[in-house]
Structure 1
Amino acid sequence: MTSADPRTNPDNFCYRHPDRQSFVLCQRCLRTICPECQTPLPVGVICPECLAEQQKGARSAEVRRMPGRFARKLRSDRPVVTYAIMIVTLAIYLVQLIPVVGGAVTGALAFAPPYVVPGSGAPFEPWRMLTVALVHSTPLPFHVALNMLALWALGRSLEPLLGKARFLALYALSAIGGSVLVALIAPGSAVVGASGAVWGLLTAMLIIGRHVGANILPIAILLGINLVFSFVGAGVSWQSHIGGGLVGLLAGFVFARTRAQNRQGLQALLLVAVGIGLIAIAVTVPGLLYL
């Protein structure tokens, strides 16, 4: 039987502050709460624990209702694709440093225009337009270091904004774009490196930042510095840089113009068209040089 003296009845004291007497109950759990622990609601008051549980449920429901990239951004903004590309690229670079084996790996993944021209005398291996981004010049360790540093800096912002699949598509298309321009302008050269892919990320960031109202001045300055380095640096394939940058501009424009949820199908179609177009150009146009 309940005591008539409220000081001996624990139900008349705040469950979070046992020394504070109260006769107010939480609307959800019906536990006694003192004025400090009360949060007023339209239908009564609620205790801190029930309030936290209610807010957590509201956030989960909001994430489920939000479309596309915004929901993905709330669920996870870790740039896992960026980290994965960095890990694979650095692992392959370490393999490249191994005598004999490293040379074989470089030779299997590097790009040269004859590999995409049927009948040129070289094996037809168009995938090299993409795998070129995984290998780097071993005598120049700063080559892979600068590319991975730029990938890390850009990927942390761009991947959560675009989503993992779009970011990976942008990186791949930019790498292919760099190889295509090498095939068109420098048919006698052989190239390695992720510079074309990184430049694509940089120029896409420039376009997307412009459309969302971000401050693009730092990106423009970085782009200008890289542009100068591309033309004056010894052994640097400026064709790869420019080719990847042009594709990044195009892809960034596609992303910016098809942000609405009802245009996601069109966005995917346009990106596929860009990829098919790049491969078609690389396979057909340089072939005229070998006739």
Structure 2
Amino acid sequence: MTDPQAAADPSVCYRHPDRQSWVLCQRCGRTICPECQILAPVGVQCPECVREAGGSVKWQPTGGSSLQKAARRRSRPRWVQNTLGLLHPDSNAPVLTYGILGASVLFWLIGFFTANLPATFLAAFPAKEIAWQVWRYFTSVLIFPAILDFRVVLSFLLSCVFFFLIAPSAERSFGRSRFLLVFASGAVVGSAASVVFGYDGYGFSGALFGLLAGFFIVQRSMGGVGTQLLIIVALNVVISIALGGNLAMLFGGLIGGGLAAFIIGRFEYRARSKPSTPIALIIAIWVVAIAAATVRLLAIAPAGVGG
């Protein structure tokens, strides 16, 4: 039905005077909004012209689906809209950082009520019984022993603080996929190095140092010096030594993350390089590190997990 007020104003839809539009029906010339625009063999027509055509034109509002989707989005609760916004590929929010940090805290808290069950099944230990449990080199980064000891708790809290300060910037700078590759490389190589040198492998240290190495590689490739990063690395090493930390994991993470960042920068933007080349090379680093740890574990006498 034509609205008299809309008929006098050519800038609004003749059926919906509250909707501004500049699209005209190809038959009658009246203004129609997206909901009233119906696809015709040539251009769009209004609903009344379609009826007059005797149904020869397919009824398919051009903006109907988009309007319905927009309405559904508006009807969602605010927290759902915010969550979906964070997960959108174009979002700049460091969702991987938040997810990793949240999972680590959750596993740590669960450990207090389950006699360290997450550490028992997910951390890397120098014990022959876990020689073929390769998933531990990937999951150990999320694990920290649930022990009410001042030094252990302080070490966990400091790791979380440093990770929260460094990882979001790394995720935004690298992008989520590159961040995940560098992070995983630091975690895997760091955990494997821990096992090779006879230490328990767990916590953010290896992955965190891998991200720092990645930052350093990027800065050097852009002509920077990276002095601040070297100071941060040195500070973390000093803190780790003071708290009886695992230096094998720190330097293993540095090597793993640095190699991953170097490979990504070296091959990702080469014209002749396949997109899968950097990923294949990084996975090869993981395989070598895990193989070295496995050989080391098979060469030692059986021991209790965590012993």
Indicate the TM-score class for this superposition, using the shorter chain for normalisation. Answer: 0.5 to 0.7
SS in 2 for 1:75: coil
Mapping of residues 210-229 of structure 1, within 5 Å: 210-214=220-224, 216-229=226-239
Q: Is it true that 1:193 corresponds to 2:206 in the alignment? A: no
Mapping of residues 13-162 of structure 1, within 5 Å: 75-98=90-113, 101-114=114-127, 120-121=128-129, 124-137=132-145, 138=147, 139=149, 140-162=152-174
Q: Which amino acid aligns with 1:134?
A: L
Shift of 1:121: 4.6
Mapping of residues 224-263 of structure 1, within 5 Å: 224-230=234-240, 232-260=241-269, 262=271, 263=273
TM-score scaled to structure 2, two decimals? 0.62
Q: Distance in 1 between matches of 2:93 and 2:129?
A: 45
Cα contact 1:255–1:267 (8 A) shared by 2: yes
Q: Are residues 287 and 152 of structure 1, via their aligned partners in 2, closer, same or farther at CA, if it must alter by over 3 Å?
A: same
Q: Which amino acid aligns with 1:160?
A: R
Which has the higher mean CA deviation after the structures are superposed, 254-263 or 173-182? 254-263
Decide which structure has greater helix share.
1
Q: Is it true that 1:266 corresponds to 2:263 in the alignment? A: no
Cα contact 1:200–1:249 (8 A) shared by 2: yes
Shift of 1:220: 1.2
Q: Which amino acid aligns with 1:248?
A: G
Q: Distance in 2 between matches of 1:238 and 1:286?
A: 19
Shift of 1:82: 0.8
Shift of 1:200: 0.9
Shift of 1:285: 4.4
Aligned to 2:175: 163
Q: Is it true that 1:207 corresponds to 2:220 in the alignment? A: no
Cα RMSD (Å): 2.8
Shift of 1:289: 4.3
Shift of 1:249: 1.5
Q: Distance in 1 between matches of 2:89 and 2:227?
A: 27
Alignment partner of 1:176 out of 188, 208, 222: 188
TM-score scaled to structure 1, two decimals? 0.65
Aligned to 1:51: none
Q: Distance in 1 between matches of 2:130 and 2:228?
A: 43
Q: Distance in 2 between matches of 1:280 and 1:74?
A: 35
Q: Distance in 1 between matches of 2:295 and 2:89?
A: 44
Cα contact 1:208–1:255 (8 A) shared by 2: no
Which has the higher mean CA deviation after the structures are superposed, 238-247 or 251-260? 251-260
Q: Which amino acid aligns with 1:218?
A: Q
Q: Which amino acid aligns with 2:119?
A: T
Q: Which amino acid aligns with 2:103?
A: V
Shift of 1:290: 4.9
Deviation readout 1:35-56 (Å, 9 max, x if unpaired)? xxxxxxxxxxxxxxxxxxxxxx
Cα contact 1:136–1:143 (8 A) shared by 2: no
SS in 2 for 1:113: coil
Give aligned-pair identity as a percent.
24
Q: How many residues align?
A: 213
